[in-house]
Structure 1
C-alpha cells in the first residue's frame, strides 16, 4: 500500500525525474515509428502490388521478423555502432539516436507486414478499375495508400505499442544512463531491482495507460472507418 500511494504521489505531483523519463520514452518511440514508416510503407506497397521471383520468400521472412527477438536487434545495432563496427565513427552508441535506430529496425517489419496485407486486400478490390483507367504504378500506390489510410494508422499504432513496451533493445544500445537514455521500461527494470517500487509502479502505470490509449485509438479509428463505409 505505501508503494502504491507513493507511485500515485509521484504521478500527481508531476515529479520531474519521472516525467523526464516519460518524455524521452515518447520521443524515442515516436521517432522510431516515423523512421520505420519511411521504409515500411514503400516496402509494403511494393510487395502488395508487384510479382517477382522470391516474393513469397520475402513475405515469409518479413512476417517472421514481426516476432524478431528484441535483444538480437539490440546486439546487431550495438555491433554496427561500436567503435570497431562499420558505423562506429558516428559516435552515437549509448545515445537516444542509437535507441531510435534500434527501435525503428524492430518495428519496421511489423508496420511493413501490416501495410502489405492492407494494401494487397484493397488492391484486389481496385485492380480492375485502376487498370481500366490506365493508372500507373505511382498513381496506384498513392490511391491505395490514401484509401486505406485509417487501417495504416492502425499499423502505426501497433508499431508504437511495440516500441513503447520494448526494454531489451534500448537497454543494450542505450545503456540506461540516468537523465540521458533511461526510458520507462529500462527504468522500471532498474528501480525494481533497487527496491524503489514507488517509482517503478508509477512508471508502470503510465506505460500501461499509454498502451491502453494507443489500443483505444486503434479500435476507435477502425470502428469509425467501418461506420463511415457502411453508412
Structure 2
C-alpha cells in the first residue's frame, strides 16, 4: 500500500495533470448541482417570499413543513424519488431512474425547502418595515414580492450559495437515484465513497481536495456578498 505522503503527491498529480476521469466527474457534479440549485431558486424564492409577505390559509402549515423539510435526511428524499421513478412508480414510464435527471430531481427536493425557508425569514423581516407603505400605495402582490426579492438580492444570493454548498456535498440521495454508474451518474461525493472502498485513495483524495476547495470558494463568496450588502446599505 502506498505511503501517506505518496498518496497526497499522487492525488495532487491527478489534479495538476487534468486527469480526464477526474474532470468528467467534476463536470457532472457541477452540472447536476448548478441545475438543481437554479430550479430550487425558481421554486423556493417566490414561495418563500409569498410565505413571508402575506397571510393566507395554510400559511402556518406551509412554514412548519418548510422548516421541517430543511432537516429531512437525504436518504429519505432519495428513497421517495426512487419510488416515484422506479418501474412500479407513477413516473416509471419516463425512464429517468439512474440518470443525471433523477439526481437533479433529488437535489432540487433537498435544496428547495432550505431556500424557501431562509427566503421566508428574510422577506418577513422586510415586510415588518415596508408592509404599511406598500398597503398605502396599493402595491399588488406580484409587485410586492418582486420588490422584496430585489431589495434582498444580496442576502438571497448568500441563500443560493448555501443551497449550492448543501447540494454539492450530498451523497445519500444521489447514490440511491443515480446508481453511481461510471461515465454516467458518478459525481464527486459518490466517487469518493466508491474509490475509498476500492482502495484507490489517490483519486478519492483528489476529489476530496476539489470538494473542499469548492467549499472554501462558496464560503468566500458568501462573505464577499455579505460585505457588498453592508456597503450597499450604507452607500
TM-score, normalisation: structure 2: 0.96
Matched residue, 1:47: 51
Matched residue, 1:119: 123
Local SS of the residue matching 1:86: coil
Matched residue, 1:169: 173
Deviant stretches of 4+, over 4 Å? none
Structure-to-structure mapping, 1:1-231, within 5 angstroms: 1-231=5-235
Cα distance in 2, alignment partners of residues 216 and 136 from structure 1: 37
Contact 2:154 / 2:228 at 8 angstroms: preserved in 1?
A: no
Cα distance in 2, alignment partners of residues 144 and 90 from structure 1: 38
Cα distance in 2, alignment partners of residues 46 and 141 from structure 1: 7
Cα distance in 2, alignment partners of residues 139 and 56 from structure 1: 23
The unaligned stretches of length 5 or more in structure 1 are: none
Local SS of the residue matching 1:92: coil
Cα distance in 2, alignment partners of residues 125 and 215 from structure 1: 29
Q: Between Structure 1 and Structure 2, how many residues are aligned?
A: 231
Cα distance in 1, alignment partners of residues 127 and 224 from structure 2: 24
TM-score, normalisation: structure 1: 0.98
Instruction: Give the deviation of 1:48 after TM superposition.
Output: 0.9
Cα distance in 1, alignment partners of residues 186 and 177 from structure 2: 11
Instruction: Give the deviation of 1:126 after TM superposition.
Output: 1.3
Cα distance in 2, alignment partners of residues 67 and 134 from structure 1: 38
Cα distance in 1, alignment partners of residues 58 and 39 from structure 2: 26
Instruction: Give the deviation of 1:133 after TM superposition.
Output: 1.4
Cα distance in 1, alignment partners of residues 144 and 192 from structure 2: 46
Contact 2:39 / 2:108 at 8 angstroms: preserved in 1?
A: yes
Instruction: Give the deviation of 1:52 after TM superposition.
Output: 2.6
Local SS of the residue matching 1:5: helix
